[in-house]
Structure 1
Amino acid sequence: MDGSIDSEKRALRAELRERRQQRSAAALEDASAGIRQQLDTLVAELGVRSMSCFLSTPTEPGTREFIAGALARGIRILLPITRADGLLDWAVAEEEGATAEGMFGMSEPVGELLSPVAVNDVDLLVIPAAAVDRSGMRLGWGRGYFDKTIGSMEKCPPVYAVVFDTELVDEVPRDLHDQPVTGVVTPTRTVTLTTR
């Protein structure tokens, strides 16, 4: 990775992380409700029966309400589990599914592990991001898990990153391995950016 790009990414991630930590509990609750509504609409429009999603951290736009509602409607959801080799295993989400702390201190599902290729059959990927630019380039949190997943898929379905409204920006620093997303889901809107 180019040193100047790496420095730009680190600085932007630190700024975004700080902004996220400043959000009030009420703002985060509102964001979670908005994300649920936006994802419910997206899933219905795309006719999704199987998808991947992620368990949001306390400072991310919340996905947990959406996951609970989607499971109740019979949608199959795969949740990521980090591995030391930089790939993701997957577990099928359950309504009362147990979680444990993963490799980076984030909550991950506990259950039967499915291999990295399990995600190849989903209709939609919903992934975390620090920011996304208007060309569809995503700035992740620096470990490359989702870039590797997207880049390795033979037939990649639509990929939407979940961000706060202010995190859809004009441009993010990018490197060769960075993968674009189809669009973003924010608490107030869903924006399609590319055709992938």
Structure 2
Amino acid sequence: MRQRIRAARREMPEERRARAGSAFRDALTTLPQLTMGGTVAVYYSVGTEPDTHKLVTALWKRGTYVLLPVFLPSRELDWAGYDGPDSLGYTDQGLLEPTGPRYGVDAVRRCAAVVCPALAVDRRGLRLGKGAGCYDRALSYVGPNTRTIAVIYDTEFVDSVPSEDHDRPVHGVVTPQRGVHWF
């Protein structure tokens, strides 16, 4: 399933990915959990992942405090604030990450929402990640009032994904054409 989804993403024209990024931004910036909740954690997309750069910029410009992930050697995610494009730097792996102070792996506990990546999400809210478990570990820290939402393309909202005991479901999903769907 991962191979099939990755191949479809690679074949997707850049123009379609850009339109999808705008649709994600437009749908998510209507949610009070993201615009009035204070702090929101958002993944900063790379490669063919659903684009979140427009969302991060829009939230930041609206005054939302945005946390972005910092990948640790332990495969956990630390979190640091986004203070505009100049607050990002490239890692040894070629990823853009925030360069400011880090708030710890449990910083998502205090967030109003966590916007996370996925390769697919099923009708139960289970997400299929890339396989390293970074976001499953991060989602284990979310507080009881934190809303979690995965960003995927329409064809990646499926009936079922393979799951294991450690997999953490999300509360919602957003796709370019369907918008936000809560479970």
Whether TM-score is above 0.5 comes out as yes
The one-letter code matched in structure 2 to 1:182 is H
1:99 alignment counterpart: 89
Once residues 18 and 137 of structure 2 are traced to their aligned partners in structure 1, the CA distance between those partners, rounded to angstroms, is: 31
Q: 1:64 aligns with which of 47, 53, 58?
A: 53
Count of residue pairs brought into register by the alignment: 181
Q: 2:121 aligns with which of 124, 132, 143?
A: 132
Distance 1:28 1:154, change over 3 A: closer
Once residues 38 and 52 of structure 1 are traced to their aligned partners in structure 2, the CA distance between those partners, rounded to angstroms, is: 16
Q: Secondary structure at the match of 1:160?
A: strand
Deviations 1:147-175 (A, max 9, x none): 11222345351100000011000000001
Deviations 1:117-151 (A, max 9, x none): 22211100100000000011110111111111222
Kindly report the root-mean-square deviation, in angstroms, between the aligned alpha carbons of the 2 structures: 1.7
Give yes or no for the alignment of 1:42 onto 2:31.
yes
Give yes or no for the alignment of 1:168 onto 2:157.
yes
TM-score, normalisation: structure 2: 0.92
Would you identify which runs of 4 or more consecutive aligned residues in structure 1 move more than 3 Å? 43-47
| 1:32/1:62 contact within 8 Å kept | yes
**Structure 2 unmatched ranges of 5 or more:** none
| 2:41/2:115 contact within 8 Å kept | yes
Q: 1:187 aligns with which of 168, 176, 179?
A: 176
Equivalent pairs: percent with the same residue? 33
TM-score, normalisation: structure 1: 0.86
Moved more, 131-140 or 52-61: 52-61
Once residues 111 and 66 of structure 1 are traced to their aligned partners in structure 2, the CA distance between those partners, rounded to angstroms, is: 20
Distance 1:172 1:72, change over 3 A: same
Shift of 1:95: 1.3
| 1:150/1:156 contact within 8 Å kept | no
Q: Secondary structure at the match of 2:169?
A: coil
The one-letter code matched in structure 2 to 1:129 is A
Distance 1:156 1:101, change over 3 A: farther
| 1:82/1:102 contact within 8 Å kept | no
The one-letter code matched in structure 1 to 2:17 is L
Q: 2:21 aligns with which of 28, 32, 36?
A: 32
The one-letter code matched in structure 2 to 1:149 is A
